[in-house]
Structure 1
Amino acid sequence: MTLIARRLAGHLARGVVMILVVATITFFIVNNIPGDPMAARYEKLIEGGMAPQAASQAVKVLYGFQPDGTLWQQYTEYLGGLFRLDLGVSVSRPGTPVLDVLTEAAKWTVLPVLLGTLLSFLVGIILGVFAAIKRTGKLGDALAISGSLLHGIPQYVLAMLLVVIFATLIPILPAEGTVDILYEPGFNAGYIGSMAEHAVLPVVTYALSAYGGWILAMKSSVVTVLGDDFILASELRGMKRSIVFRYITRNAILPLFTLLALSLGLLLGGAVFIEKIFNYPGLGWLLIGSVQDRDYALMSGAFLLITVATILANIVADLFYTVIDPRVRSGEEAS
């Protein structure tokens, strides 16, 4: 078995265990939250004119398992559903499977998070190199200060500032929603253009909120690499500065790839405030709604999806680091 295959098998095994642990903790926490969503749903159905027996049966179907069984029976039924990829049915969206609701919401979170994070990563590492090389000059100071300022501003503050500037003072971008209702959904220029226009502010918010961390991390990594022996030896041998620059960047950027993969997984859960401000129906917006509606099946599913995304991001980061850094491969093969 190759090194990559061994590492992948180990990560997958640990990942499955971690998912089961998180699912178990989530199940028992959710089932001990004050308030009974089933009773609330039952009362709403009764108020709507449904017969008590029919309302009781409907609530059981919506909840996904028999609520009158023991907690252990409910837990085993819940785990059995997980292995079948059955997360139950949403209480706030009667008749709609939780997995369908999460899939619909995830597509509105993944694209802005992915674009914003990659944009901030590219800009941050490029400017981080200049901030390190020019750290004794005005350019280096200005770049470091910009990174520190943006790194210290909370995401929701950045989001509100962008709304005030570009949707109120200079109304050139929409402040909320995903697409204009005037356009018919489909692969057409009007719909795609409107969707892109609505995504600008969320993407820029993600990019600006992450930019500070990337530029500061890259600057620190480059400064560390500048002190390595192979850089000093290269300069003494008269190697071209462009070649030295490539060596510096290549070695300094390696640790940041791990952080990049992890940040993509964590941002799925960190999108709550941004999506709430922009009324963007992604996972964060959905999670807030599930708490307000006491939709415990949807809440558990959202937590589980964020956990799975973080674990997968961790696995991808480790495997990618193994591929791009020969020192990791050689070290493990030697052992």
Structure 2
Amino acid sequence: MTPKYLLKRLGQAILTFFVTMTVSFLLYQAMPGGPTEAMRSVILSQSGGSVDIDRLNRMIQLYTNVNPDQPMHVQYFNYASDVILRQDLGTSFFKNEEVTTLIMQRIPWSMFISVYALALGYSLSIFLGVMTAYREKSRFDSTVSSLIIGLNSIPYYIVGVVLIYFLAIQNNYFPTGGRIGSGIAAGYNPEFMLSLVQHAALPAISMGALATSGALAMRGNAVRVLGEDYIRVAQLRGLRETRIATQYLGHNSILPMYTQFMIGIAGVFSSAVIVEEVFAYPGMGLLMFEAVKTQDYPLLMGTLLVFTAISLTAIFIADLTYTLIDPRISVGEE
């Protein structure tokens, strides 16, 4: 990996983050009912009377790190400086807490169900992709491929509603919402761990439905690998089919899936906004959804920036580490 390539990818990630922050900031300031009007409604509800302009401006600056009396470019520069240099995302209008604190409280839970979903979805995708390719044009191949296409044509939140109805309401196998059961003490004990996994199971399965689309990509990779000489040699040697499918076919077909897996982190995190609302799972996605409903602009802007940073970091790590899992790829060279 050349230093030139490393700096190029890092520069692209930083530029993308700043473009996202700039566009989002300008849209939030320009849209009807923006931060100024939202803060005005908060002060009116608290005071029950007219709004003093000076007090309104001071409150807006306190909560959003932006002074509405200043020109737009100065407002943006001050906001970007607070975000980059001091990691200050402002204060929530309605929760009256620092946005950074609220996000840090919720993000571990969103990361937990996201990793849970990716592990389930991609493990199933890799297995089904390899098996359908190895049994190409068989009844198993056509049936599984049709099921995957059908599953991915259904929105993931609909999958979540169906799971709640059949597995939580009708049969009571899983809880309908929350992070842990009531009355269970947090800690490294079996009761807490089991409750944690049970409450996260249905959101993870629902979000994991997004990742099963990788089975078709895995199948395509595996079909190409089937034509390689080392696969034919393994078959001629009389090796077991399971060994050929896993060690020879699966191992070499999974490499192109690595980048897709890292990019999938962004998709899973974005799907958490709706899934966490459906399952009442108090993660960062639900926090963002609440910010949209209450027009809590500092909180909405902060969660968007964190989602963007997570996605860019995952893609950047994928670019840097791909050569470690596949030395045949010469990153940065033609």
Q: TM-score w.r.t. structure 1 length?
A: 0.88
1:311 CA displacement = 0.8
- Separation (CA, whole Å) in 1 of partners of 2:56 and 2:230: 74
| Secondary structure in structure 1 of the residue aligned to 2:318 | helix
- Separation (CA, whole Å) in 1 of partners of 2:143 and 2:207: 21
Instruction: Note if 1:223 corresponds to 2:223.
Output: yes
Match for residue 198 of structure 1?
199
- Separation (CA, whole Å) in 2 of partners of 1:133 and 1:252: 12
1:59 CA displacement = 4.3
Match for residue 21 of structure 1?
19
Determine if contact 1:46/1:55 at 8 Å carries over to the other structure.
no
Determine if contact 1:266/1:306 at 8 Å carries over to the other structure.
no
Match for residue 69 of structure 1?
70
Determine if contact 1:265/1:310 at 8 Å carries over to the other structure.
yes
- Separation (CA, whole Å) in 2 of partners of 1:228 and 1:142: 26
1:244 CA displacement = 4.8
- Separation (CA, whole Å) in 2 of partners of 1:53 and 1:254: 59
Q: Which runs of 5 or more residues in structure 2 are unaligned?
A: none
Determine if contact 1:167/1:174 at 8 Å carries over to the other structure.
yes
1:13 CA displacement = 2.2
| Secondary structure in structure 1 of the residue aligned to 2:202 | helix
Instruction: Note if 1:160 corresponds to 2:161.
Output: yes
Give deviations 1:160-204, integer Å, cap 9, x for gaps: 000000111101211111122322444444433322221121122
Sort the Cα spacing of 1:215 and 1:97 in 2 relative to 1 into closer, same or farther, 3 A: same
1:250 CA displacement = 2.4
Match for residue 90 of structure 2?
88
1:8 CA displacement = 3.5
Determine if contact 1:268/1:284 at 8 Å carries over to the other structure.
yes
Match for residue 120 of structure 1?
121
Give deviations 1:227-278, integer Å, cap 9, x for gaps: 345545x368647466754332222111101100110123111212211100
Determine if contact 1:178/1:195 at 8 Å carries over to the other structure.
yes
- Separation (CA, whole Å) in 2 of partners of 1:236 and 1:66: 71
| Secondary structure in structure 2 of the residue aligned to 1:89 | coil
Instruction: Note if 1:148 corresponds to 2:153.
Output: no
Match for residue 305 of structure 2?
304
1:75 CA displacement = 0.8
Q: Which amino acid aligns with 1:147?
A: I
1:70 CA displacement = 2.0
Match for residue 79 of structure 1?
80
Determine if contact 1:176/1:279 at 8 Å carries over to the other structure.
yes
Sort the Cα spacing of 1:300 and 1:248 in 2 relative to 1 into closer, same or farther, 3 A: same
Match for residue 132 of structure 1?
133
- Separation (CA, whole Å) in 2 of partners of 1:315 and 1:203: 24
Task: Using the TM superposition, name which of 47-56 and 286-295 deviates more.
Answer: 47-56
- Separation (CA, whole Å) in 1 of partners of 2:110 and 2:49: 35
Determine if contact 1:45/1:55 at 8 Å carries over to the other structure.
no
Task: Using the TM superposition, name which of 170-179 and 23-32 deviates more.
Answer: 170-179
Percent of aligned pairs with the same amino acid: 26
Give deviations 1:82-115, integer Å, cap 9, x for gaps: 1121111111211x11111112221121111101
Sort the Cα spacing of 1:28 and 1:50 in 2 relative to 1 into closer, same or farther, 3 A: closer
Determine if contact 1:162/1:201 at 8 Å carries over to the other structure.
yes
Task: Using the TM superposition, name which of 75-84 and 187-196 deviates more.
Answer: 187-196
- Separation (CA, whole Å) in 2 of partners of 1:48 and 1:142: 66
Instruction: Note if 1:269 corresponds to 2:270.
Output: yes
1:279 CA displacement = 0.8
Q: Please give the root-mean-square deviation of Cα atoms over the aligned residues, in Å.
A: 2.6
Determine if contact 2:44/2:50 at 8 Å carries over to the other structure.
no
Q: Which runs of 5 or more residues in structure 1 are unaligned?
A: none
- Separation (CA, whole Å) in 2 of partners of 1:68 and 1:51: 14
Determine if contact 2:40/2:56 at 8 Å carries over to the other structure.
no
- Separation (CA, whole Å) in 2 of partners of 1:298 and 1:272: 14
Sort the Cα spacing of 1:59 and 1:199 in 2 relative to 1 into closer, same or farther, 3 A: same
- Separation (CA, whole Å) in 1 of partners of 2:52 and 2:46: 8
- Separation (CA, whole Å) in 1 of partners of 2:61 and 2:47: 14
1:208 CA displacement = 3.3
- Separation (CA, whole Å) in 1 of partners of 2:240 and 2:144: 22
Match for residue 317 of structure 1?
318
Q: Which amino acid aligns with 1:114?
A: V
Q: Which amino acid aligns with 1:88?
A: G
Q: TM-score w.r.t. structure 2 length?
A: 0.89
Determine if contact 1:38/1:63 at 8 Å carries over to the other structure.
no
Q: Which amino acid aligns with 1:25?
A: V
